[in-house]
Amino acid sequence: MANKLIFVAIIASLFLIACTNSNSNNSSSNVSYSISGDTININSKNGTPVNVSLTIVDESISFSTDGSGKYTILSIIRQRSQNKNDIALNAAKNNNKISATIKVADFPDTTISIVLTPFQTAKSASISGNCAPLISKSEDPNFDVNLKKWLFRKGEHLEEDVINQVIGIAKSLNQSGYVDYITSAQIPVLQSFSGNSYAVSSNMKADHYVLFACNSQKEIDDFVEEIVSNNYELTSNSLNGRMNCFRPSNGNGYRCITLIGINKDWSYQQVPLGLIAIDNIPPTESFSDNTSDYSSITLKDNVRIYLPSNKPTIYGNASISVPHWDGNGLSCNVTFRLSFSGDVKSFTIKRTPDLCYHYGSSMGYYEKTTPQNKTIYTKDITSPHTFTYTLHFEGGDNLIPYEIEDYHGNRVEGKLNVRAEFVRNNAPTIENNIDIYN
pLDDT tens digits along 279-294: 999 999 876 554 556 7
Task: Classify burial at 46, counting beta carbons within 10 Å of its beta carbon; exposed 0-12, middle 13-18, buried 19 or more.
Answer: exposed
- Total domain count, the chain: 2
In a domain, 423, yes or no: yes
Quick one: what percent of the chain has pLDDT higher than 70? 86
Do residues 282 and 358 both lie within one domain? no
CA distance 286 to 349: 20
Q: What is the CATH number of the domain that holds 350?
A: 2.60.40
Type and span of the H or E element at 366: none
Do residues 198 and 292 both lie within one domain? yes
Range of the domain at 224: 189-306
CA distance 413 to 348: 9
In a domain, 42, yes or no: no
pLDDT number for residue 1: 47
Q: What residues have CB less than 8 Å from 16, skipping those under 6 apart? A: none
Strand order in the sheet with 59-64: 59-64, 51-56, 97-104, 110-115
Give the model's confidence band at 66: pLDDT under 50 very low, under 70 low, under 90 confident, else very high: confident
User: What is the distance, to the nearest Å, from the Cα of residue 212 to the centroid of all Cα atoms in its chain?
Assistant: 20
Do residues 341 and 408 both lie within one domain? yes
Do residues 321 and 300 both lie within one domain? no
CA distance 94 to 91: 5
DSSP, collapsed to helix, strand or coil, labels residue 133 as strand
Do residues 277 and 384 both lie within one domain? no
CA distance 312 to 157: 42
For strand 303-306 and strand 125-128, is the pairing parallel, antiparallel, or unpaired? unpaired
Do residues 229 and 278 both lie within one domain? yes
Nearest to 398 by CA among 362, 347, 361, 432: 432
pLDDT digit string, tens, across residues 353-382: 989 987 766 567 777 788 999 999 999 999
* CA distance to 34, 119, 248, 314, 402, per residue, from 409 (Å): 66, 46, 21, 11, 16
DSSP, collapsed to helix, strand or coil, labels residue 337 as strand
* CA distance to 52, 242, 257, 357, per residue, from 103 (Å): 6, 59, 48, 90
In a domain, 335, yes or no: yes
The residue ranking higher by pLDDT, 211 or 16, is 211
DSSP character string of 231-297? TTTT-BSSS-S-B-EE--TT--EEEEEEEEEE-TTS-EEEEEEEEEEE-----BS-TT--GGG--EE
Where a domain ends, among 306, 329, 351? 306
Do residues 324 and 414 both lie within one domain? yes
Q: 410 with 283: CB under 8 angstroms?
A: yes
* Torsion, Cα of 15, 19, 24, 26 (10° steps): 170
Phi and psi (nearest 5°) for 349?
Answer: -100, 130
User: What is the distance, to the nearest Å, from the Cα of residue 184 to the centroid of all Cα atoms in its chain?
Assistant: 15
pLDDT digit string, tens, across residues 380-437: 999 999 999 999 998 899 999 999 999 999 999 999 999 988 775 554 444 444 444 3
Give the model's confidence band at 17: pLDDT under 50 very low, under 70 low, under 90 confident, else very high: very low
pLDDT number for residue 358: 78
In a domain, 270, yes or no: yes
Nearest to 320 by CA among 346, 288, 352: 346
User: What mean pLDDT is predicted for residues 128-132?
Assistant: 97
Do residues 272 and 336 both lie within one domain? no
Nearest to 102 by CA among 44, 56, 167, 148: 56
DSSP character string of 140-201? -HHHHHHHHHHHHHHT----HHHHHHHHHHHHHHT--SSEEEE--SPPPEES-STT--BEEE
Where a domain ends, among 281, 306, 331? 306
Helix axes 84-92, 160-173, angle to 10 degrees: 140
Nearest to 35 by CA among 81, 83, 82, 71: 71
Give the model's confidence band at 340: pLDDT under 50 very low, under 70 low, under 90 confident, else very high: very high
Do residues 298 and 380 both lie within one domain? no
pLDDT number for residue 22: 35
In a domain, 311, yes or no: no
CA distance 75 to 192: 44
Do residues 295 and 320 both lie within one domain? no
Strand order in the sheet with 411-420: 372-377, 344-351, 396-406, 411-420
Do residues 255 and 331 both lie within one domain? no
In a domain, 134, yes or no: no
pLDDT number for residue 12: 42
Where a domain ends, among 306, 328, 354? 306
In a domain, 37, yes or no: no
The residue ranking higher by pLDDT, 120 or 259, is 259
Q: Is the pLDDT confidence value at 11 over 80?
A: no
CA angle (333 as vertex; 401, 398 as ends), nearest 5? 35
Do residues 275 and 330 both lie within one domain? no
In a domain, 65, yes or no: no
